[in-house]
A and B are shown apart, each in its own frame.
Chain A
Amino acid sequence: MSDLIRLSAADLAAKLASGEVSSVEATKAHLDRIAAVDGAVHAFLHVNAEALETAADVDRRRAAGEELGPLAGVPIAVKDVLVTKGMPSTSGSRILEGWIPPYDATPVRKVREAGMVPLGKTNMDEFAMGSSTEHSAYGPTHNPWDLDRIPGGSGGGSAAAVAAFEAPLALGSDTGGSIRQPAHVTGTVGTKPTYGGVSRYGSIALASSLDQIGPVSRTVLDAALLHDVIAGHDPHDQTSIPDAWPSMAEAVRRADVSGLRIGVVKELDSDGFQAGVRQRFHESLELLAANGAEIVEVSAPNFEYAIAAYYLILPAEASSNLAKFDSVRFGLRVVPEGGGTVEEVMAATREAGFGPEVKRRIILGTYALSAGYYDAYYGSAQKVRTLVQQDFDAAFAKVDVLATPTAPTTAFKLGEKLHDPLSMYLNDVATIPANLAGVPGISVPAGLAPEDGLPVGIQFLAPAREDARLYNVGGALEALLVDRWGGPLLAQAPDLSTHELMATEEGVV
C-alpha cells in the first residue's frame, strides 16, 4: 500500500483516471497511514469517518462515465480553521470543542465538488495564532523530520500530514506565514494566494484583512492543481476577486525562467538568518541564474516595520473576530458556580475556553483599538501597511518576482520558544510582508541545512493577481533541484512507521 501514499497527487490522479487504482484504495492507504503514524505525528484532530464512503461514491461516478475533475478521488486533509459540514471544526481551540458546523467553507465545498475525499481535520495553533502548532488546545504536532521539533505553524498539522505521507494534499490558511513557514520546516510546498484569490467564506477568521486560504502539497504541480480547484470568485466573500484566473497547473507545466527577473530583498538576506538557510537560498538562486534567470538586488526599507505593524493589525481584527465566542449560540459554555448573569457566563467561558496566546492577542488588540490609542497604534500600523505595499510596488517595477528565505531558521525544538512570544513572532519576518500587501507567495523546498540536516524553504513573491508567476519559478526550481538531488527532498526524510516498512520493503532513508 505505501507506494500509493508516496505518489504525488498528480500521479495518483492519473492512476485514478486510468482506472489502475480506485479512490477507495487510495483513501484506504492514507487512512492506514494515518492509523500507523499519526500517534507519533499528531497531524490530525479528527479523521473523517465518511472518507471511504465518499471515495466509493467517486469510484461509482467514474465507473458510470461521469466527467470528473483532475483531482477527483484524491484524498485531502483540511486545516481545522475551515468549517466542515458534519465534521468538528475547532480551529485548535477548546472553546469550539464538539461544535459541528451546519455548513461547508467555500474551499471545502469546492474540494468536495471536485470529487476530492476529505480525510479529516488537521491540527493548528489555536485560532491560527502561532508559528509552531504548540498553541493548539489539543497538543502539538510533531515534525516528521524530527519528532522533537516543531512542524511550523499555525498550519503545522496540514504540513506534517503531507510530509508524513498521511495525505497527498492539504488545505491551509496563511495570515502571516501559516502555510509557507510550515512548508519551509517540513520540506513541503505551500502557497498563500493573492488576497481575494480564494474565498475566505467558512474560514474561522483570525485577521480578516490578512487571512488567505491556500494549498499545501509535496510538489509544486500538486499545489497548482489544488490552487486551480479552490480559486475563484465567491459572492459570499466580498473581498474575493471577481476576475477569472489562469491555470496555475499550466504555469508549472510550462515552467521556464529564462529572462525572468528575480529580486533578492536585501533586508531579508542578512545575518539574522541561519547560515544553512542562507546557503541553500543562494544555491537556489545560482541554479535559477544558470538557467537564464536574472538575479537583481532590491531594497524594501519598510519591511523592518512589518512585524510591528502586523502585531497591531492582527490582534485588533482578531479581538473583534473572536468576540463571537461567547457561549450563547455554540461551543463551550462555562457557568460560574451558583449560576450567573449572561456577562458572567460569557466571561467564564472565554476564560476557560481560550488559551494564553489567544488571550494575549485579544488584550493587545482591544487596547490597540481603544479610543485615544487608535491613531497611535491601529492608525499607524495601517500607514506602515501602505509603506510596505509601496515597497512591493517599487520592487515589482524592477523585477518579476521577489525571492527570500522563507523563515530565519530550520525547525526549532518543541518548547524552545513557547515562553518567548517575541522570538516566536520573529519567525514570520519574511512571510508577513506579503500578507500586509495582499500579494501571493510560495515556499518551495531548497534543501537541507548542512549544520542540522533539516529542511529549508525558499520563498517567492509576486505582484497581486500574478500567482502564476510563483508556479512558474517554483516549478522550474523544483525540477532543477530534484534533478540535483536525484529525487524529491522528502525521500530523504526519516520513515516513521517501521512496521509498515517491513511489510513493504520501501522508503530507505
Chain B
Amino acid sequence: MARAALMDFDEALERFEPVIGLEVHVELNTKTKMFSSAPNPANDEFHGAEPNTLVAPVDMGLPGSLPAVNGTAVRYSISLGLALGCGIAPSSRFARKNYFYPDLGKNYQISQYDEPIAFEGSVEVELENGRTFEVAIERAHMEEDAGKLTHVGSTGRIHGAEYSLVDYNRAGVPLVEIVTKPIVGAGADAPALARAYVATIRDIVLSLGISEARMERGNLRCDANVSLRPKGQERFGTRTETKNVNSMRSVERAVRYEIQRQAAILADGGTITQETRHWHEDTGTTSPGRPKSDADDYRYFPEPDLLPVEPDPAVIEELRAALPEPPAARRRRLKAEWGFTDLEFQDVANGGLLNEVAATVEAGATPAAARKWWTGELTRIANAQGADAAGLAEPAHVAELAALVDEGTLTDRLARQVLEGVIAGEGSPREIVDTRGLAVVSDDGALIAAIDQALAAQPDVLAKIRDGKVQAAGAVIGAVMKAMQGKADAARVRELVLERAAADN
C-alpha cells in the first residue's frame, strides 16, 4: 500500500475547513449482558474470561432463544443521556440491523434505529489550551456488542488468514452509541477537540460509574468522521469514517492525519471516497476499509421480540436528580476552590489527575500538596514506568504522606522513599514508616551524640566554626546526616551543631 501524500497541517487549515463527527461506543459495566443473563465481560469482575465461557443461548444465536432487555442497562443509558443533556424518549424501540457476519450469532444486531432512547443534547468540552466548545449531541442509543474474531495466519488480518476463531463472550455486551452532530468551527483545534470530547465522555461515564471506560480494553471506542470543505463553502465535503480508534492520543492523531490526507487529495483535484478507514497505531496512518454509502441496506425493522422501552417518568426524574456534576462545571468549581492558577490547573487536568487530586484533598491534604505529589513525583515515576499516574497510589495514602511531611515525621526525601513503598504495595505510609524505620530522628540526645562524634573526628572544622566560619558546619552536618541514614531534619542538625560547637568552647 502506497503511503498517502499529506499536506502540511497548517496549510491544510488555511485552505480547508474541517468538519468532524464523532461516534463513541460505551460498553456498560452491568453485571449481565444487554439481552441475556450471561456475565458481562465489560464488568471488571468478569474481564479476561476464557473464550466462549460467558454465553447464554441468545448470545450464540441458538434457535428458539429470545432477548430480554436488561433493566440496569436501560437505567444506565438514561443516566448517560441525561448527563449529555439529552431528552429521554417516553417510548423508544429496538430494531434489527440485518447483516451476515460470523461474530454476530443471530446475523442481526439488536440496536435502536429511528427511535433512540436519548436525543438532542450538548456537552461542554474544554481543550488542553483552555478553549471551550459546546458539542451538540444528535442521539445516544442502546445496542449490543458483537463477538470477537481472531484471524489465525501470517497477517493477523482477515485477508490471508488460514482460519478464524470466534469468541462470543463480547456478544451481547451492552453498548450505548453516542453520536454528535457535525462539529464545525473548530479549525486547527479539530484534532484536539476530538480528543478532548472523548476524554469528556470518559469523565462522564466514570462519574456515573456506568462503564469501566478503559479504552485499551475497548470499553470506550471512537469512530471519527472527517470531511473537508473549501473555506466559504456551505455544503459539507465527502467524509471518511475512521473506525475503532482506541486511545485519546490516537483520536487526535487520526483526525489530524485525515485532515492532511484529504487536503492533499482535494488540493490535487481529486475526490474523497466515502468509506470506512482503519487506524494504524504503529504507523500513525489510516488505510481504506470497506466502501460505505448512505444506502447501505441493513433492512432495519422493529425488533418483534421486544416491547418498546417506556421508562417510568418518575424513574427518569430520580436518575436526573442523582446526576453527578458535569465535568466542565466541576473543573470550574475545583479550580476556584483550590485557588490554582490556569497553568497549575491545566497541569492537573491534562495529566488526567483531577479525580486523584480531588480525592487527595478530600482525604485531608492541602490542594498545593496534593498537586505537588501527583504532578511531581507520582507523574515522574509513572512516566518512568510507562504507566498512568492515576491509579499508581491511593489518594488517601498520598494525603497521609503529605500529612507526615507536614507534621515533621518525614522529610521530602524520606517521603519519596515511603512513596516507593506505597507504590510497591507495602502498605500505608505510616505502616511503611514503621516497618522501614524511616521516621525523622527527633530525639536530640541521639543527634547530639552523633554531632559530638563528628566534631571530634573533624577538629579542624570545629576550630573553623569557633572562629566564626559558620558555613564550615556543612561538613559536620553532612557527616551527621549520613550517620543518621538521612532520617534527621537537617535544619535541626545545623542548630545543634552550632550549639555543641559553642558549648564545648
Contacts and interface: CB of A to CB of B under 8 A. Distances in A.
Nearest to B101: A342
Interface stretch (A101-109, A132-140, A412-420): A101-109
* 3 nearest A-B residue pairs (beta carbon): A323-B107, A208-B304, A369-B299
Given A103-B57, A323-B98, A326-B100, A371 B297 contact: yes
Interface in A197-246: 200-205, 207-209, 235-239
A82 B64 contact: yes
B166 A328 contact: yes
A205 B57 contact: no
B457 interface: no
B64 A105 contact: yes
Contacts of B166: 328
A117 interface: no
Given A237-B66, A238-B305, 17 more contacts: A83-B62, A101-B62, A101-B63, A201-B66, A202-B64, A207-B304, A208-B304, A209-B304, A237-B68, A319-B98, A320-B108, A328-B102, A329-B60, A329-B62, A329-B105, A330-B62, A378-B301
A374 B301 contact: yes
Interface in B44-64: 57, 60-64
A207 to B, nearest CB: 8
B295 interface: yes
A367 B166 CA distance: 30
A102 B100 contact: no
A370 B299 CA distance: 5
Interface in A373-426: 374, 378
Contacts of B61: 324, 329
Contacts of B102: 326, 328, 342
A254 to B, nearest CB: 34
Nearest to B99: A323
Contacts of A99: 63
A346 B96 CA distance: 20
Nearest to A331: B63
A317 interface: yes
B414 interface: no
Contacts of B60: 329-330
Contact of A316 (B64, B164, B301, B307): B301
10 contacts: A82-B64, A83-B62, A101-B62, A102-B62, A200-B66, A204-B64, A238-B67, A319-B299, A371-B297, A374-B299
A366 interface: yes
A324 B64 contact: no
Contacts of B164: 342
Interface string B293-307: 001010111001111
A91 interface: yes
Interface of A: 82-83, 89, 91, 96, 99, 101-103, 105, 200-205, 207-209, 235-239, 316-317, 319-320, 323-326, 328-330, 342-343, 346, 366, 369-371, 374, 378
Contact of B299 (A91, A320, A326): A320
B65 to A, nearest CB: 8
Nearest to A91: B63
B63 A89 contact: yes
Contacts of A236: 66, 68
Contact of B306 (A102, A103, A238, A378): A238
B433 to A, nearest CB: 55
A313 to B, nearest CB: 9
B301 A369 contact: yes
A86 to B, nearest CB: 14
Interface residues of B, number: 30
A371 B307 CA distance: 24
B177 to A, nearest CB: 21
Contacts of A238: 66-69, 305-307
Interface centre among A96, A208, A316 (most CB of B within 10 A): A208
B contact patch SS: loop
B64 A201 contact: yes
B492 to A, nearest CB: 71
Nearest to A330: B62
A105 to B, nearest CB: 6
Nearest to B97: A320
A207 B96 CA distance: 14
B316 to A, nearest CB: 20
B68 A366 contact: no
B413 to A, nearest CB: 62
Given A82-B64, A102-B57, A342-B164, A324 B105 contact: yes
Contacts of B331: none
Contacts of B278: none
B195 to A, nearest CB: 35
A367 B306 CA distance: 23
Interface string B161-201: 00010100000000000000000000000000000000000
B106 interface: yes
A374 B95 CA distance: 14
Nearest to B52: A329
B63 A366 contact: no
Contacts of B295: 371
A200 B297 CA distance: 29
A203 B164 CA distance: 31
B33 to A, nearest CB: 14
Nearest to A326: B107
Contacts of B66: 200-201, 236-238
Nearest to A99: B63
Contacts of B105: 324, 329
B295 to A, nearest CB: 6
Nearest to A210: B304
Contacts of B107: 323-324, 326
Given A328-B102, A369-B98, A83 B64 contact: yes
B300 to A, nearest CB: 8
Given A209-B304, A366-B299, A369-B301, A324 B63 contact: yes
A302 to B, nearest CB: 21
B64 A203 contact: yes
Contacts of B64: 82-83, 89, 101, 103, 105, 201-205
A346 B100 CA distance: 9
Given A239-B307, A369-B301, A370-B299, A320 B100 contact: no
A317 B95 CA distance: 12
B108 A323 contact: yes
A126 B307 CA distance: 28
Contacts of A207: 304
Nearest to A378: B301
A398 B122 CA distance: 53
Contacts of B300: 369
Nearest to B299: A369
A101 B301 CA distance: 28
A384 to B, nearest CB: 16
